[in-house]
Amino acid sequence: MKRKLKMLLLLMSVSVFLLMGCGKSDKTVKEDNQNQEAGEKTVIKLGSSGINTNMIDIISELMPENYDVQLVTFDSNAGGAETCASGDIDGFIYNHEPWLKQYNKDNGTDYVVVDKLYYGRSALYSNKYDKLEDLPDGCSIAICNDSVNMENNLLFLEELGLIKMGEKDSEDSFLTTIDVIENPKNIKFVEVEISYAVGSLDEVDAAIVSSTNVLEAGLDPEKFLAENVSKKNYPIGLTVVKENEKTQWVADVLEVLHSEEFKKRFNEIYKGSLVLF
């Protein structure tokens, strides 16, 4: 009886050890090891949106043969973050770091950008006017409706001399249109979701739009009224939940992202609308 009890306790201990996976995620310890032992490929699902999906295709082609990198696309700015939180994808590439920090704060998530890969150019575009000074009094300008990008857009317009902003209420707050204290051109602000800003160009006098969205829409990303140079402070890279930051598949993806072949193909596709660090 004692011998049977000892065996039972031993089996229970082994089971707990396997479930814990030595402190690593279930995907890394359990699924990946099983796939490798069976000679099967490890499936990695990466999310992205719009024209940014092309870089996932490059990663898929350049990854070691023991991986099957699958693209999952989204049509909203928060789609990747929401889906990754539920465990349906492993990571995503297209939300910048300040946005992710705010998302973590608002949603109790722990996303990390494991490597600063690139920044997305952004500029003030117009289908009606060729020069900044041509914007008329009472013109309409589309800006992003989320807190991080709205503040950036408004500060960009302030740098251009179009408006003057007041001070923040606190370090944790964000500037909004309510904080505009001087508006000499009587600009009408049209708040839109970032993914749809380019679609507003036919409805407003000008819009602050990501250059990749402009390229995707078949327009010239170099034809803008003014460029937002502060976008360098909004790095984008491979984003995962913190517990997966040190996993082997993340290390292998980073090796691909740092390769000369990836950089070459990246620049050929994005034509300067996205800029590598």
Same domain, 44 and 181: no
Same domain, 81 and 135: no
Residue 117 predicted with pLDDT over 60: yes
Which pLDDT band holds residue 32 (cuts at 50, 70, 90)? low
Last residue of a domain, one of 191, 209, 227: 227
* Residue 25: inside a domain: no
Q: Could you tell me if 94 and 236 are in contact, meaning their C-beta atoms sit under 8 angstroms apart?
A: yes
* Residue-range definition of the domain harbouring residue 67: 36-120+235-276
Q: HEC string of 154-187?
A: HHHHHHCCCCEECCCCCCCCCCCHHHEEECCCCC
Counting the structural domains of the chain, the total is 2
| CATH classification of the domain holding 204 | 3.40.190.10
* Residue 11: inside a domain: no
* Residue 114: inside a domain: yes
Same domain, 154 and 222: yes
Predicted pLDDT of residue 38:
59
Same domain, 220 and 240: no
Residue type, 62: L
* Residue 271: inside a domain: yes
Predicted pLDDT of residue 71:
97
Predicted pLDDT of residue 36:
52
Same domain, 40 and 113: yes
Predicted pLDDT of residue 224:
95
Q: What is the pLDDT of residues 4-13, one digit of tens each?
A: 444 433 334 4
Query: How many angstroms separate the CA atoms of 216 and 50, rounded?
Result: 7
Residue type, 94: Y
Residue 30 predicted with pLDDT over 80: no
Query: How many angstroms separate the CA atoms of 93 and 237, rounded?
Result: 6
Same domain, 116 and 239: yes
Nearest to 123 by CA among 215, 190, 260: 215
Predicted pLDDT of residue 171:
85
Same domain, 137 and 205: yes
Predicted pLDDT of residue 24:
38
Residue 29 predicted with pLDDT over 50: no
Which range (31-35, 62-66, 118-122) has the least confidence? 31-35
Task: Look at strands 140-144 and 188-192 and give their pairing.
Answer: parallel
Distances (CA, A) of 179 to 81, 98, 151, 164, 166: 29, 20, 10, 9, 5
* Residue 71: inside a domain: yes
Predicted pLDDT of residue 35:
54
Q: What is the pLDDT of residues 237-251, one digit of tens each?
A: 999 999 999 999 999
Q: What is the pLDDT of residues 151-194, one digit of tens each?
A: 999 999 999 999 999 999 888 899 999 999 999 999 999 999 98
Residue 1 predicted with pLDDT over 80: no
Same domain, 70 and 133: no
pLDDT exceeding 70 applies to what percent of the chain? 86
* Residue 83: inside a domain: yes
* Residue 21: inside a domain: no
* Residue 218: inside a domain: yes
Same domain, 218 and 139: yes
Span 253-270, mean pLDDT?
96
